[in-house]
C-alpha cells in the first residue's frame, strides 16, 4: 500500500462537489487579494465577515448579505467564478455543480443575463485553460425574493440550459429557511422539471416538517431531485409523528447533500458525531459530503472527508467506496458517471487500494427521484 496518511489520501481522492454556493466559496487568498487591490469593498472589510466561526444560522445569513455587497460587478463575478473552479480542481474535485442567484444591480450594470453570461464565460475559459474539472451550473432561487422572481429564474435557467447545451443543468432552491414557505414554490419546481431542469432543494435545514412533507409529496415522481442539508429529515426523538418524511426520502432514494462543517458552525447540529451524514450512510442511502461555502466555513471538500474519516474511523477503502457512491447522484449522464468511476479506478491502482466490486446494473445503482 502506498505510504500516504489518511489526511493526504483525502486530498488526493477524486471527488465530486454537489453543494457549493458561488458567493461563499471564495478562498482567503482570493478575498485578501481583492481587498489588497481595493482597500475595502463597498464598505465591507475582512474583519466584518467573521469567517469560519461558529454562529447561529440567522447570523450566517447576515454575513452572506455582506458578501453579496462584495461581489456585485461583472468583473468580480468573473474573477470569483474562475478562482473557485480552479481551487476546487486543486482539491482534486473532478466534477463540480456550482450554484448562484443571478443578480440584477442597475448601478453596476449587472443584469441577470450578464451574471449568467459571466459565470458561463469563466467556466468555458477554465475548460480552454485545461483545468482538470467538469463544471455544471445551477441557477438559484432565493426564497426571500418571492415566487414571481422564482419564475423569472426558471425562464433564465431554461434559456441558458439550451444556449449552453447543458452547461447550465438545473436549479437550486435556497435562502433563509425562516422566510416564507417552500411549499408556495411547488408549481415553480414542477414547471422547472417539465422544462428538463434538475432540482437541488434546501429542505429540512431546520425543523420545518409541514413544508418539507408538502414539497416531497408534490415533487417525488415528477422531478430529478436532491435535498440540500436535510438535517431534520430522519427519525429521531423530537421528530416523532413525521416518519412519513423519511419514508418518502427512502422510497425515492433522494440523495442528500450533507454539509458537516457548515451545519456545525451554523449550530444546526451539535458536532460531527451527531451529524445526520452517518445516519444515512449506515442505511446505505445516497448521501454526499459537500462544503456549502468553503470560504465562509473554512473547509475544503478534502477536509470534510478527513473529518468524517477521523470521527467514524474510516480507512482508505471506506473512503473510496464513499467517493464512488457519490457519482450516481450528479446531475449528468451515465457516460460522465462512468468517466468518474474510471478516474477513481486509476487512482486506486496508483495508491494500491482495492477498487470496490460494484454491480453497475440499473437495479443496483443508486437511483433518485425522477420521472
Nearest to 325 by CA among 310, 336, 340, 312: 340
Determine the pLDDT at residue 64.
Answer: 62
Contacts of 246 (CB under 8 A, 6+ apart): 233, 234, 235
Determine the pLDDT at residue 365.
Answer: 35
Q: Are 119 and 25 in contact (CB under 8 A)?
A: no
Which positions are catalytic? 205
Determine the pLDDT at residue 88.
Answer: 98
**pTM of structure:** 0.92
Domain ranges of the chain: 6-351
Determine the pLDDT at residue 271.
Answer: 85
Determine the pLDDT at residue 53.
Answer: 60
The number of residues in the chain equals: 371
Output b/e per residue, 306-324; b: 16+ Cβ within 10 A. bbbbeeeebebeebbebbb
CA distance 254 to 345: 26
Q: Are 143 and 173 in contact (CB under 8 A)?
A: yes
User: CATH for 6-351?
Assistant: 3.20.20.140
Q: Residue 193 burial (CB < 10 Å; 0-12/13-18/19+)? A: buried
Instruction: Please give the sequence-ordered ranges of beta strands (E in DSSP) within the chain, or none if there are none.
Output: 15-21, 93-100, 134-142, 168-174, 198-203, 225-229, 256-258, 287-289
Residue 41 DSSP class: B
Determine the pLDDT at residue 241.
Answer: 60
Residues of the chain with pLDDT under 70: 1-3, 38-68, 235-241, 358-371
Determine the pLDDT at residue 364.
Answer: 34
CA distance 307 to 290: 12
Amino acid at each position: 500500500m502506498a505510504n500516504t496518511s489518511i489526511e493526504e489520501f483525502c486530498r488526493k481522492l477524486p471527488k465530486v462537489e454537489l453543494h457549493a454556493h458561488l458567493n461563499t466559496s471564495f478562498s482567503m487568498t482570493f478575498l485578501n487579494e481583492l481587498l489588497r487591490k481595493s482597500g475595502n469593498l463597498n464598505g465591507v472589510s475582512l474583519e466584518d465577515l467573521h469567517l469560519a466561526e461558529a454562529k447561529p444560522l440567522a447570523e450566517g445569513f447576515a454575513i452572506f448579505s455582506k458578501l453579496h455587497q462584495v461581489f456585485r460587478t461583472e468583473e468580480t463575478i468573473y474573477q470569483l467564478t474562475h478562482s473557485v473552479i480552479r481551487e476546487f480542481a486543486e482539491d482534486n474535485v473532478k466534477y463540480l455543480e456550482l450554484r448562484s442567484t443571478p443578480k440584477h444591480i442597475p448601478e453596476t450594470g449587472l443584469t441577470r443575463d450578464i451574471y449568467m453570461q459571466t459565470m458561463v464565460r469563466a467556466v468555458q475559459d477554465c475548460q480552454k485553460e485545461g483545468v482538470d474539472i467538469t463544471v455544471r451550473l445551477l441557477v438559484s432561487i432565493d426564497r426571500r425574493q418571492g415566487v414571481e422572481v422564482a419564475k423569472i429564474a426558471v425562464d433564465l435557467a431554461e434559456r441558458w440550459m439550451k444556449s449552453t447545451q447543458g452547461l447550465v443543468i438545473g436549479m437550486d432552491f435556497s435562502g433563509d429557511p425562516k422566510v416564507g414557505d417552500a411549499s408556495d414554490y411547488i408549481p415553480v419546481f414542477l414547471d422547472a422539471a417539465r422544462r428538463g431542469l434538475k432540482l437541488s432543494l434546501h429542505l429540512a435545514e431546520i425543523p420545518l416538517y409541514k413544508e418539507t412533507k408538502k414539497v416531497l409529496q408534490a415533487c417525488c415522481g415528477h422531478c430529478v431531485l436532491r435535498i440540500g442539508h436535510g438535517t431534520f429529515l430522519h427519525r429521531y426523538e423530537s421528530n416523532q409523528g413525521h416518519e412519513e418524511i423519511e419514508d418518502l426520502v427512502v422510497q425515492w432514494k433522494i440523495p442528500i447533500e450533507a454539509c458537516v462543517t457548515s451545519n456545525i458552525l451554523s449550530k444546526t447540529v451539535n458536532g460531527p458525531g451527531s451529524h445526520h451524514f452517518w445516519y444515512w450512510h449506515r442505511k446505505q442511502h445516497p448521501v454526499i459530503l459537500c462544503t456549502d461555502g468553503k470560504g465562509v466555513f473554512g473547509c475544503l471538500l478534502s477536509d470534510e472527508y478527513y473529518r468524517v474519516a477521523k470521527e467514524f474511523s474510516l480507512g482508505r477503502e471506506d473512503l473510496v467506496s464513499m467517493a464512488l457512491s457519490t457519482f450516481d447522484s450528479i446531475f449528468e449522464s451515465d457516460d460522465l458517471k462512468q468517466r468518474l468511476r474510471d478516474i477513481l479506478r486509476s487512482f486506486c491502482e496508483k495508491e494500491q487500494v482495492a477498487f470496490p466490486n460494484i454491480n453497475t446494473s440499473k437495479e443496483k445503482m443508486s437511483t433518485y427521484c425522477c420521472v
